[in-house]
Structure 1
């Protein structure tokens, strides 16, 4: 069984993707209710969570939102569920219907071009000491 923080939603992201890192920073800034914890898909805990919920992380082009004991979401649906929790006007995006085929088509298009458009790191991001509590290790 996984040892995860109680009452927190876990976001698994591509830790070497600049767009993904920027998205994580944005979520942290607008997560005023302290809903989320983060881990990269490449990390040991990220791999354990992926295996536990039965989602392959061999293709690291998807964001995963895991709500322990309830459900998990991938791609556009994960983004919409995350947006619903944010304290900003972006919360509205969470209530739009970008899930399903259209949402995932748009998501897949951006995901397949993210390294070309935004770049890639050689290693996963290291959070600052004050943000470390938001990350699982």
Structure 2
């Protein structure tokens, strides 16, 4: 596996939009994706017992380090490079506060952005960046 893997809620309209945005803006094409509902996502959760019940962003980096919630979002911005690395400045905000804001948004994501019946199937061009 090369590059970090972002696990996301494949049924969440916002999460799917965020994946599409990352695909369009990750110039190096290093970030790979797996829906939490898919086999690869479920395998990662099974391997890391602390992730059971987590339905938010999860980032697994090349070293096997797992980041969740706001830490995962900031790590994605850093991994994208370029101007997106500037979001790392938000690491000065204490994690409990960042995660409280993240959780408030996450609780409302289906209401605001909708819930899909099934995970979107990646296009042929995108398929190499998605795990099963």
What TM-score, normalized by structure 1, do the two folds share?
A: 0.87
Structure 2 distance, partners of 1:35, 1:74, is 19
Alpha carbons of 1:11 and 1:105: their partners in 2 closer, same or farther (altered >3 Å)?
A: same
Which of 13, 16, 33 is the equivalent residue of 2:11?
16
- Name whichever of 28-37 and 83-92 sits farther off: 83-92
- What are structure 2's unaligned runs of at least 5 residues? none
1:48 shift after superposition: 0.6
1:53 shift after superposition: 2.3
1:59 shift after superposition: 4.3
1:83 aligns with 2:95: no
Structure 2 distance, partners of 1:20, 1:135, is 14
SS at match of 2:75: helix
Structure 2 distance, partners of 1:47, 1:99, is 30
Q: Which has the higher contact order (CA 8 A, sep 6+)?
A: 2
| Paired residues of 1:79 and 1:94 also in contact (CA < 8 A) | no
| Paired residues of 2:31 and 2:79 also in contact (CA < 8 A) | no
- 1:104-115 maps to which residues of 2 (within 5 A)? 104-115=99-110
SS at match of 1:55: helix
| Paired residues of 1:10 and 1:39 also in contact (CA < 8 A) | yes
* Matching residue of 1:51: 46
* Count of residues in correspondence between the two structures: 131
| CA-to-aligned-CA distance 1:77-120 (integer Å, 9 cap, x gap) | 00001001224533311332245101100100000000000101
| Paired residues of 1:80 and 1:95 also in contact (CA < 8 A) | no
- What are structure 1's unaligned runs of at least 5 residues? none
- 1:110-125 maps to which residues of 2 (within 5 A)? 110-125=105-120
Higher helix share: 2
